[in-house]
Amino acid sequence: MQQTFNTNEIPVGVVGLGLMGCSITVCLLIAGHPVVAIAPIPVDLEHAEERIKHHLIKSREEELITNDPEFYLANLIITEDYSKLKDCRLIIECTIENVDIKKSVYKKITDVVSNDALITSNTSAIPISILQKHAPNPERFFGLHWAEPSHTTRFLEVICGEQSDISKGEYLYVLSHYWGKEPTLVRKDIRGFIGNRLMYAMYREAFYLVENGYATVEDVDRACRNNTGYWMTLAGVFRWMDLTGVPAYHTVLTDLFPTLNNSTEVPKLIDDIVKDGGKGVANAKGFYDYTPEEAKLWDETFHEFSYEIRRLALKYPADVVKKKLQQKNDEKEDK
Ligand SMILES: NC(=O)c1ccc[n+]([C@@H]2O[C@H](COP(=O)([O-])OP(=O)(O)OC[C@H]3O[C@@H](n4cnc5c(N)ncnc54)[C@H](O)[C@@H]3O)[C@@H](O)[C@H]2O)c1
């Protein structure tokens, strides 16, 4: 990294304190930023502080942090008052996936922050080029796409819209290393960015296989976990092809690609669940049936696993081989 920063001197605002807003807040506090966390709806105030504290307690238990939660919480303000964002250099909007709501939130943010602050959205799939039209300084507007739970995951996409100033995107890219990320800079806006385009191609095929009777939900999940799940934290799709022999992929895709699903309809399987009020583990109603206790245990297990896989990911960063080479060369020089 060429640039160095003192994160303590970069106050960050997080707007929206749902699932992701809380874990993003935790990630930023751990990185040393003062954080102003805005609750756009009163219900956020009921759970945000407790959720943030819970993440910090767990992070301490898992040795992700070395101080008590209170140390980090001293750097946090939770409020409904947007004017407290005034001195923030960076804002991360994290409200529900709805353009009109996000638009109204940008108005409240830009009414108070300075003109040179950076404004970002954690949108999953709304093009940044559309969202940035609602900011007075679109060149300072970016996507910052996190993965839950944000304080343990290494994923982050920094996305430039059509009007974004790429040099500011590069600044966010460098800064996000201080948040424990291994980021991707998406230099040209595309719907779904990188991660979701890859994931949704897989979801589409998964729905196709189940809806057409090739396999059950359980079988598709099992294949996914034990095939891609086994190597993805190390390799990524291109490295995987390198590791296992490129010509075989060339041969297989020639015959397989024409048979893959390319439907543009919402699959009935998910449509029925959503119309019936199913949210997944959150209300024990999804692709699987859960008792409330099972749903709670799945949620806990997911969080437990996220710490575990983080440890593994840290052991195998993107430049793992470069580091091994360096170590070997150092050892040679020492001899
Ligand atoms: N959940 C994920 O894994 C995930 C991953 C990446 C990106 N995202 C994106 O992050 C954003 C937030 O997702 P989440 O999972 O935290 O959602 P969530 O439902 O947990 O939280 C949504 C938050 O939106 C705000 N909100 C709700 N109604 C509002 C209103 N009328 N006006 C202003 N604010 C309102 C509140 O702060 C609420 O807590 C979305 O854009 C989502 O697509 C989510």
Residue 24 scores a pLDDT above 90: yes
How long a stretch of residues is the chain? 335
Give the Cα separation of 21 and 122 in Å (integer).
Answer: 9
pTM assigned to the model: 0.91
Please give the Cα distance from 57 to 75 (Å, whole number): 16
SS3 120: strand
Q: Do the beta carbons of residue 66 and residue 57 sit within 8 Å?
A: no
Residues in contact with 169: Cβ distance below 8 Å, sequence separation at least 6, in sequence order: 142, 158, 159, 160, 185, 187
Residue 1: pLDDT above 60?
A: no
Lowest mean pLDDT among 182-186, 272-276, 331-335: 331-335
Q: How does pLDDT run across 25-54, given as a tens digit for each residue? A: 999 999 999 999 999 999 999 999 999 999
User: 300-316 pLDDT, tens per residue?
Assistant: 999 999 999 999 999 99
Angstrom CA distances, 205 to 60, 231, 254, 262, stand at: 39, 20, 17, 8
Pocket test residue of 80, 95, 103, 283 for ligand 1, highest count of atoms within 8 A of CB? 95
Strand bridging mode 141-146 / 156-160: antiparallel
Ligand 1 centroid to 227 CA: how many Å?
31
pLDDT of residue 220: 98
Which residues surround ligand 1 with Cβ inside 6 Å? 16-21, 40-41, 44, 94-97, 101, 105, 122-124, 145-146, 148
Q: What's the 316 CA to ligand 1 centre distance in angstroms?
A: 31
Taking the C-alpha atoms of residue 107 and residue 112, their distance in angstroms, rounded to an integer, is 9
Q: Give distance in angstroms: CA of 96 to centre of ligand 1.
A: 3
Read off the pLDDT of each residue in 49-65 and give the average, rounded to a whole number: 96
Nearest CA to ligand 1 atom 30: 101
First vs last Cα of the chain: how many Å apart?
A: 30
- In this structure, how many other beta carbons lie within 10 angstroms of the beta carbon of residue 250? 10
pLDDT for 10 equals: 98
Report pLDDT for 302.
94
Whose alpha carbon is nearest atom 11 of ligand 1? 94
CA of 321 to the centre of ligand 1 (A): 38
| Average confidence (pLDDT) over 207-216 | 98
Average pLDDT, the chain: 96
**Distance between CA 16 and CA 190 in Å, rounded?**
24
Whole-angstrom distance, CA of residue 184 vs CA of residue 156: 6
For 293-302, what is each residue's pLDDT tens digit?
Answer: 999 999 999 9
Task: Give the span between the Cα atoms of 109 and 40, in whole angstroms.
Answer: 11
Q: What is the mean pLDDT of residues 3-17?
A: 95
Residue 54 has which token pair? 């819970």
| pLDDT at residue 187 tops 60 | yes
Q: How confident is the model at residue 2 (pLDDT cuts 50, 70, 90)?
A: low
Q: Comparing 1-15, 61-75, 105-119, which segment has the lowest mean pLDDT? A: 1-15
Element (H, E) at 185: strand 184-186
pLDDT in tens, 85-127: 999 999 999 999 999 999 999 999 999 999 999 999 999 989 9
Question: Helix, strand, coil shares of the chain as percentages rounded to 5?
Answer: 55, 10, 35
Closest ligand 1 atom, residue 121 Cα: 41
Determine contact, residues 5/178, Cβ cutoff 8 Å: yes
Q: Minimal CA–CA distance to 35: which of 1, 69, 76?
A: 76
> Which two structure tokens, joined as six digits, stand for 138?
């679109």
Query: Tell me, what's the pLDDT at 39?
Result: 98
